[in-house]
Amino acid sequence: MEAVTITLNGVEVSGYAGTTILDLARESGVYIPTLCYDPNLASTGACRLCLVEDERSGALHASCVTPIAPGMTVNTNSPRVVEHRKKILELMLASHPDICLVCDKGNRCQLRKLAAEMGIGLVTLQRIPQNDVIEEVNPFIERDLSKCIMCGKCIRVDQELVVEGAIDYMDRGTMAKPATLNDMPLEKSECTFCGACVAICPTGALMEKDRIYTGTATNVVTTVCPYCGCGCTICLGIKDGKIIEARPAVDSPVNRGALCVRGNYGYDFINSPQRLRQPLIKVDGELQEATWEEALARVADGFGRIKNENKADALAVFGSSKCTNEENYLLQRFARGVLGTNNIDNGSRLYSAASRTGLGASIGYAGTTGSLDALERSKVIMVIGANPEISAPVVAYAIKRAVRFKGAELIVIDPRDTPLTQFASLWLRPGVGTDVALLNGLARVIIDEKRLDVEFVTRMTDNYAGWAKSLQNYTPGHVEKVTGISKKNLQAAARLLAGAEEASIVYGNGITQHVTGTGAVAAIANLAMLTGNTGRRGGIFALQRENNAHGACDMGALPGFLAGYQSVDDAQNRQRFEERWGCSLPAEAGLSALEMMEAAREGKVKGMLIMGENPVASFPQPALVKKALSSLDFLVVTDMFPTETVKFASVVLPAASFAEKEGTFTNFEGRVQRLHQALEPVGDSLPDVEVLFRLAEIMGSPMPYASHQEVMEEIEEMVPFYRHVAYADTDSMGMDWGDVESNSLGTRRLHKGLFPSGFGRFSPVEYTPPVDVSTDGYPFTLMVGSSRYHFGAGSRSSRSFRLSRFSPTAFLEINGVDAADLGIGDSDTVKVTSAQGELSTTAKVSKTLPQGLLFMPISFPDSPVYELFNTVLDPQAKAPALKSCAVRLERTAGDG
């Protein structure tokens, strides 16, 4: 590109043609005040505050929208510029209430800051009366449009960045204001309370509501959201040792100035009065407070005794997809090196094991193949079995941006109407559990119509012929019979996908949590390979539910693998770790999560350590889990809260929250990001790393790390694809994505279309009729999933003051016709019964569900939906089917 040289405040500088004056000035370290400009949004030049003068022509330009031109002589601070700027600001202040001193925006208010900078005090212009605070009941956002300066940033961020479309201008002239459709309160609009508009509003017009602590932050700590697998970077504003607000990091490559309601408002669980502050020991059936010394001695004694009296395999360890990489790494070292067992697994077994197994076998790498950028660049995006708007909001933002602003076409495959369907050019609604047939059908059409990427398939893959033969039965006619998708739509989808220069496939728990999950994932990989979309172009995007599901597995919190997916039954692998740790390691693969519970029920496993998981709420058949846990001789749980699982513990160790510790999380893209400690742990609680250090020491096998840094260094050394990650850099934004592509991290991904093993492998997958859908006596198929305002098993979100207040109870969604047939009205109490169990909840008539399908959120500890589920395991992934089950329904009481 051509370089253009201009004179900027007397100095010659050059930039690429097309660069704006503002961008070049910022690059050159010259300050120009702005109000309506934002690096993540298209510039509109609305406020004119960024005026500069071209001294040759005397013209005034809004620098944020004016590209540099050869020979420009820009003065950013000429007397004319200053005079104009002042006038603009005075006009804005004229219609602004004089209440800066009591406004909570405080020193984050750009308007006030600029006024101070320019020495504008009392405004002499006549005041223009303005609108007032809008009455709203939501606990998240407060709008006082009397402070609005009509910069339009909230509207642009809502439409361009998070693409929700909740607000736009309304009316004209002096009546104009940002408003929702029909000027309703936010809670009655499309607003998802992502908070992006609040973060970007330069004045106090949009403010965070119901803060527990008020005031102005004196310190900002940049860290990573603890909820979903997107791994947004959040900035926590701290004052007097308390978090007073959370804001999105503007420069994060993941979330770019946006978060979702959980990240923005849900962090307040750390202030919950229910936090565990002291270790607890069970004495005569009661948990009583104890010191760390007493508690740890008890743990060492308990595990030691069981190990001596039985074999080490009578012990089991359950790690957490919510804990850091370092915690999980040390936990597997503790399990293998100190306790001497491979009985270790982590919570992600329940929702992403199918991904690991299915993708591992096909493309040789157990995760997402590309970055969010690659997703947004795609020309066609297919979303199957995922509702990213809820489960991975930042992914949904990227998809919607691709559709709205980059001309991508979207195919949504989902029986439910999700927020993405309105963006889709094609929406297919297959029967629940028929995805494999559909995916095979798509592949068959692509092959029959010769639309496959022949070069890629020949050069980069294996077993094509064998697999193609296995598709013989999947004619469009047959597929239509099985899935309900017409031949026409099947072909249309296949043509779109195969015809795109770059296509991406996004899938989530709707795929992985069915019994046939592993097969369906392999079928997705087949389709991606067939069309040559495996990372060099497009890619496979496996959403992960929890913040560190990826990391927990990478770190070896798995029964069959040491850190870095190094198989435990390979002596060479073991030897590396044995040498590093100076101990011998067990050779036989251990028990997976559900197998551990079964072994506990059978009395084979007698002692268990659970770090940060709540299996009583997250596993199918809580009754069986409870039975397993109460059969144990000795159970140790580390957690932040007295969860349903904690009640069964012999010793409870209070854990620090994400804001109270250091470490790294790995997001769904495989990006390793660093946490920064913002607060001291509450009470006597400790980060799990510290707990493991102390425990290993008391048990006579100290782990010789002097600091967190050393743990990370060892991870870098022992896990090849974690080389060059977070601790090497000093800045807080995680590693540079450029490094990932150029350094050895590239070997774990499929960048430039390279498979780790050189070849991708097509694997035939047969469709088997689903067992987790309606049957005789149970005429409905119940699907379960996350809800926007809650998360996972709900142990944190139900303790978030604002999230739980906004959405306090569980509900059952039902199609209107089904509801009418059963005489069920909105808010009636209903009883849901499956072959396994029953529960009571409130009905909510919904427009998004087809007949025969019900939906219930999983994250409400008081309505444990998993009571209804069986423990049918996906044979390959050893994960239970937790997406759907067959139920019947009856109304038990009216809306009382």
- Measured from the CB atom, the residue of 28 and 472 that comes closer to ligand FES is 28
Q: How far apart are CA 137 and CA 51, in angstroms?
A: 40
CB 187 within 8 A of CB 136: yes
Alpha-carbon distance 697 to 690, whole Å? 11
Of the residues 55, 90, 104, 168, which one makes contact with another protein according to CB under 8 A: 168
**C-alpha span between 565 and 570 (Å, rounded):** 11
Pairing of strands 242-248, 634-639: unpaired
Q: Is 154 in the site for ligand FES (CB under 6 A)?
A: no
Q: Looking at beta carbons only, is 388 or 564 nearer to ligand SF4?
A: 388
The answer to whether 220 and 239 have CB atoms below 8 angstroms apart is: no
Residue 228 binding ligand SF4, by CB under 6 A: yes
Residues contacting 678, CB < 8 A, separation 6+? 221, 223, 236, 238, 243, 659, 660
715 is a contact residue toward ligand FES (CB under 6 A)? no
Stretch that binds another protein, among 15-23, 176-184, 345-353, 526-534 (CB under 8 A): 176-184
Choose from ligand SF4, ligand FES, another protein, none: what does 150 bind? Cβ within 5-8 Å by kind.
ligand SF4
Fill in the per-residue mask, 167 to 206: x = in contact with ligand SF4 (CB under 6 A), - = not in contact. x----------x------------xxxxxxx---xxx-xx
Q: Quote the least distance from Cβ 440 to another protein, whole Å.
A: 32
Q: Does 171 bind another protein (CB under 8 A)?
A: yes
What's the DSSP call for residue 173? G
CB of 173 to ligand SF4, least distance (A): 15
Residue whose C-alpha is closest to residue 329's, from 736, 679, 611: 611
The number of residues making up the chain comes to 896
Q: How far apart are CA 589 and CA 231, in angstroms?
A: 31
Q: Residue 159 interacts with another protein (CB under 8 A)?
A: yes
Query: Is 625 exposed, middle or buried, given 0-12, 13-18 or 19+ CB atoms closer than 10 A?
Result: buried
CA distance between the termini of the chain: 69
Q: Does 325 bind ligand FES (CB under 6 A)?
A: no
Q: Nearest approach, Cβ of 423 to another protein (angstroms)?
A: 8
Residues 890, 830 contacting (CB under 8 angstroms):
yes
Establish if 172 lies at the interface with another protein (CB under 8 A). yes
Within 56-115, the residues that bind ligand FES by CB under 6 A are 62, 64
Please give the backbone phi and psi of residue 207, each rounded to the nearest 5 degrees, phi first: -135, 155
Binding track over 404-443 against another protein, x by CB under 8 A: x-----------------x---------------------
**Residue labelled with tokens 């692509």:** 446
Residue 624 touches another protein, criterion: CB under 8 A: no
In the complex with ligand SF4, the residue whose CB is nearer, 259 or 381, is 259
Q: What is the largest CA-CA distance in the chain?
A: 91
Number of residues forming the site for another protein (CB under 8 A): 18
Residue 149 found at the interface with ligand FES (CB under 6 A): no
CB of 25 to ligand FES, least distance (A): 12
Is 520 a residue that touches ligand FES (CB under 6 A)?
Answer: no
Contact status: 169 vs another protein (CB under 8 A):
yes
Question: From the list 43, 50, 217, 227, which residue makes contact with ligand SF4 (rule: CB under 6 A)?
Answer: 227
What is d(CA 780, CA 202) in angstroms, rounded to the nearest whole number? 50
- Asked if 162 touches ligand SF4 (CB under 6 A), the answer is yes
Determine the residue type at 684: D
Does 152 engage in binding with ligand SF4 (CB under 6 A)? yes
- Could you write out the three-class secondary structure of 71-135? CCEEECCCHHHHHHHHHHHHHHHHCCCCCHHHCCCHHHCHHHHHHHHCCCCCCCCCCCCCCCECC
Q: Which does 132 bind (CB under 5 to 8 A by kind): ligand SF4, another protein, ligand FES, none?
A: none
Nearest to 530 by CA among 444, 470, 426, 413: 444
| Spatial contact of 598 and 610, defined as CB atoms under 8 Å apart | no
Binding-site partner at residue 35 among another protein, ligand FES, ligand SF4, none, CB < 5 to 8 Å by type: ligand FES
CB of 514 to another protein, least distance (A): 31
In the chain, the amino acid numbered 741 is: E
Our finding on whether 398 is near ligand SF4 (CB under 6 A) is no
* Partner from another protein, ligand FES, ligand SF4, none binding residue 203, C-beta < 5-8 Å depending on class: ligand SF4
| 47 binds ligand FES, rule: CB under 6 A | yes
Give the residue with the Cβ less far from ligand SF4, 262 or 514: 262
Question: One-letter amino acid identity for 771?
Answer: V
Answer for the pair 438, 479: CB distance below 8 angstroms, yes or no. Answer: yes
Tell me if 807 contacts ligand SF4 by CB under 6 A: no
Distance CA 327, CA 686 (A): 12
Single out the residue of 45, 97, 165, 253 in contact with another protein (rule: CB under 8 A): 165
166 near another protein, judged by CB under 8 A: yes
Q: Pick the piece of the chain touching another protein (CB under 8 A) from 127-135, 164-172, 620-628, 708-716.
A: 164-172
Among 128, 181, 283, 587, binds another protein (CB under 8 A): 181
CB of 199 to another protein, least distance (A): 19
Residue closer to ligand FES, measured from CB, 149 or 503: 149
Please identify, using beta-carbon distances, which residue of 93 and 527 lies nearer to ligand FES. Answer: 93
Query: One symbol per residue from 97 to 136: x for binding ligand SF4 (CB under 6 A), - otherwise; what is it?
Result: ----------------------------------------
Q: In what order do the strands lie in the sheet with 51-54?
A: 11-16, 3-8, 73-75, 51-54, 59-62
Nearer to ligand SF4, 6 or 552 (CB): 552
Closest CA to 348 of 611, 548, 628, 508: 548
235 binds ligand SF4 (CB under 6 A): no
Q: How far apart are CA 253 and CA 236, in angstroms?
A: 18
Question: Cβ neighbours of residue 675 under 8 Å, at least 6 residues apart?
Answer: 223, 224, 324, 658, 661, 662, 663, 664, 665
| Nearest in space to 541 (alpha carbons), one of 378, 442, 669 | 669
Site residues (vs ligand SF4, CB under 6 A): 141, 148-154, 157-158, 162, 164, 166-167, 178, 191-197, 201-203, 205-206, 225, 227-228, 230-232, 255, 259-260, 262-263, 393-394
Site residues (vs another protein, CB under 8 A): 159, 164-172, 179-182, 189-190, 404, 422
Site residues (vs ligand FES, CB under 6 A): 34-37, 45-50, 62, 64
